Structures are given as structure tokens and as C-alpha cells.
Amino acid sequence: MPKTVVDRFEQRRQTRAKLIDAALQLFSTSGYEHATVDDISQAAGYSKGAYYFHFSTKEDILLELLRMWAETRAQILAAAEGEAQTTDSLQELVAEFFSYAQEPRWPAVLLEFWSQALRNDEVRRRLDQAYGSYRAELTRAFESASRSTGRSSDGAAEAASVTLAAHDGYAVQVAVGAPAAKAMQPDQLAGLIVAPFTQRAAGEERRTAVR
């Protein structure tokens, strides 16, 4: 491939990446409704025409951010798929799923996803799909941790649902800068979820043995 073609391709890739990063920044600070295509273009250092070369509408870049966010969470859970989980490794997995240390702008944009899902069927569909996948992956992880200790996996699905609810609540706390988010780290929150599940499983086994 001629060098000029490669350079042009790379330039377009960089332009697209900068537009996406600008949208991530603006949506996390100004909100989706208040940020305009002009704002995104200017923040990225490009013309409005450059924006429309890569995205047809403002919604398109929101959906691209939603895809990126969903993939980052999915990759965390997929990394543990097929591996036997112990109580400790499960807690580490849940803590990593909760953490946004690598990209602290995501929690605020997650609030924008939820807000738009109330009015936008496509955003709602994609969120439902993502959360359904996360719930299935987390359920398997909790079941695996139970099997590794020879305990009952009853309640794994419920534990997965609680984990997702805790993730969302923690993300809100991080997004608004609440003191609670600073006082509790992801690994501590993960421990509060994983420990009761494994302890309950052990308790159920003891009760069964008594009978």
C-alpha cells in the first residue's frame, strides 16, 4: 500500500479518536444534551465537516462511546471466563469491574447513557444487551467460586444482580464526587458483596449436614 494512503488512513484514525475523546470529555462535564457537534469539533481541533465525515449525527458518537464503554466492562469479565474462580480471585474480578481508575470520565458518561435510554430505544437496547451479558458472566463467576470451595452455587444469579446494582450505585457516587466514593475503594466494596455470598453458601451446607 502506498505510503500516502497509509498516512491518510492513519490521519483519519487519529481524527476519529480525537473526536471521540472530545465527546467523552464534553459529555462527562457538560452532558450530552448541552454539548453540540460544534463543541465537539472545536474541542477536538477540527471543523464541523471533519466531524460529519466520521459521524452522521451527535447520536452516532454517543452510540460509539456506549460501544466502547460496554466493551471495556465486557473485556474485564471475559478475561476470567473459563478460569476456576476462588473467593479471592472473584473479589479481584468484581473490584476490577467496579473500578474506573484508568478512565475516570466514564462514570459521568454512564449517567448520560442511562438518561438517554429513557428516550432513545437504541441506547436502551444496547444497555440491556450489555447488562444481560454482564449478568450472565458474573453468575458464572460466582458459580465457579462456589464450586472451587465445594459449596452450593445457589444464589449466584442473585449475587450477580447485586453486583451490577452496586456497580451502578458506585458509579453514580464517583460521577458526582460523593465522599462515599472516596471513602470506599472498589476492592472494599467487592469484599462486601463476595464475602456474604461465600459465607451464606457455607452456612447452607452446614444446615444441610445437620439435617
3-state helix, strand, coil in the chain (%, to 5): 80, 0, 20
Q: What is the pLDDT of residue 2?
A: 55
Say how many CA atoms lie within 13 Å of 175 toward its Cβ. Answer: 22
Domains belonging to the chain, first-starting first, are 1-56 (1.10.10.60), 58-210 (1.10.357.10)
* Model pLDDT, residue 153: 78
Whole-angstrom Cα distance, residue 127 to residue 199?
32
From first to last of the 211 residues of the chain, give the pLDDT tens digit: 455 655 888 899 999 999 999 999 999 999 999 999 999 999 999 999 999 999 999 999 999 999 999 999 999 999 888 777 899 999 999 999 999 999 999 999 999 999 999 999 999 999 999 999 999 999 999 999 888 777 777 889 999 999 999 999 999 999 999 998 888 899 999 999 998 887 755 444 444 443 4
What is the rounded (10 degree) CA torsion for 166, 120, 115, 165?
-10
Residues ≥6 apart with Cβ < 8 Å to 9: none
Contacts 24+ apart (CB under 8 A), 37-44: 44/15, 44/18, 44/19
